[in-house]
Structure 1
Amino acid sequence: MPPRPEPLRVSDTAGAERLVAETLQRMQELEGVLERESAHIRVGRLREGLADEAHKTALAGAYLQGLEEVKANAVALARFTPAGVAALREAHRRFAAAIETNQAVLATARAVSESLMKSLSSELARAAQPQGYGARRAMPSPYGPVRATPLVLSRSL
């Protein structure tokens, strides 16, 4: 649904029900995108999980606009469609749980990625040290202190 150019003002039951239905639809669409993203990332398909980023951003913007319209019309919604307000509250509770799950999956993926990068960096640094007999110690360099070779990271998945 495209954003409205002017703020919506609910003045009857039909308008209240339409606003509730639009907000619920936006919430369900965004929840579906979050669930697909979480499912892909859980199994390590990062590219597929992050493919809908633009769509997710657009849906999130539309959802936030819908929430602002709901807040601006809270009194009218409570008056014209109290069942719709209850449905919005329940749907919002489920949506908050979906967001929490998605955030946990993303945090886990980030932690695993960081751990892998640290391990890879340690292995590369260890492999770059000269091997020889006797106790390990850093070999002095005639060119000053030796610096570790940088680890190159590609951010494009």
Structure 2
Amino acid sequence: MQPQLGRERPSIGGPEEAERVLAAFAGTIAELESVLDAETEDLSSGRIRSALSREERKSDLAAGYLRGLELVRANAVALARFAPEAAGRLRHAHRGFRAALERNQAVIATARAVSEGLVKGVADEMARQSRPAGYGVSTPQPATGSPLVYSRRF
């Protein structure tokens, strides 16, 4: 369970507490990485609805990650002194998490670019079809048809 943070910064009192805080934060990182990996796989496979179904869980874990990060940063010296091995494991886990996050962001950027390209292509085709066909040099006419409307729900 992630320790709760109030306005004050809790201090780490001993090795057991340091181990507990680091283990809780590592658990949050592992869960968030798992959700990101599943989302990345779904987006890569075109399963948008499935990827979006994890949004609430991902948001909750991201909030827990930020709280844990604040706690660890505020007590970095004590954590390193009381639990140096657990701190080393956490650093290693965090590197893996950053790599998963970078993969996820790359897939999201690709999906966004593809979807924007599709929408633009549909809009351009609709505008092309609404232009009158005639003889001679064709000059682009402003689109006078109905606007393109799409739903953000999948």
TM-score by length of 1: 0.89
Question: In 1, Cα distance between the equivalents of 2:95 and 2:73?
Answer: 16
Aligned equivalent of 2:147, options 146, 150, 157:
150
Aligned residue number for residue 30 of structure 2: 28
Partner of 2:108, secondary structure, is: helix
Pairwise CA distance, 1:88: 1.1
Partner of 1:15, secondary structure, is: helix
Question: In 2, Cα distance between the equivalents of 1:138 and 1:102?
Answer: 40
Partner of 2:53, secondary structure, is: coil
Q: Find the structure with the greater CA-based Rg.
A: 1
Give the paired residue count. 152
Aligned residue number for residue 128 of structure 1: 130
Confirm or deny: 8 A CA contact 1:77 1:85 kept in the other structure.
Answer: yes
Confirm or deny: 8 A CA contact 1:125 1:149 kept in the other structure.
Answer: no
Confirm or deny: 8 A CA contact 2:29 2:65 kept in the other structure.
Answer: yes
Aligned equivalent of 1:108, options 107, 110, 118:
110
Residue identity matched to 1:4: Q
Residue identity matched to 1:86: G
Unaligned runs of 5+ in 2: none
Confirm or deny: 8 A CA contact 2:79 2:87 kept in the other structure.
Answer: yes
Confirm or deny: 8 A CA contact 2:42 2:48 kept in the other structure.
Answer: yes
Aligned residue number for residue 142 of structure 1: none
Confirm or deny: 8 A CA contact 1:40 1:46 kept in the other structure.
Answer: yes
Pairwise CA distance, 1:2: 5.8
Pairwise CA distance, 1:128: 1.1
Unaligned runs of 5+ in 1: 140-144
Partner of 2:31, secondary structure, is: helix
Aligned residue number for residue 81 of structure 2: 79
**Cα 1:17/1:93, change in 2 over 3 Å:** same
Identity among equivalent pairs (%) = 47
- Root-mean-square deviation over aligned CA pairs: 1.9
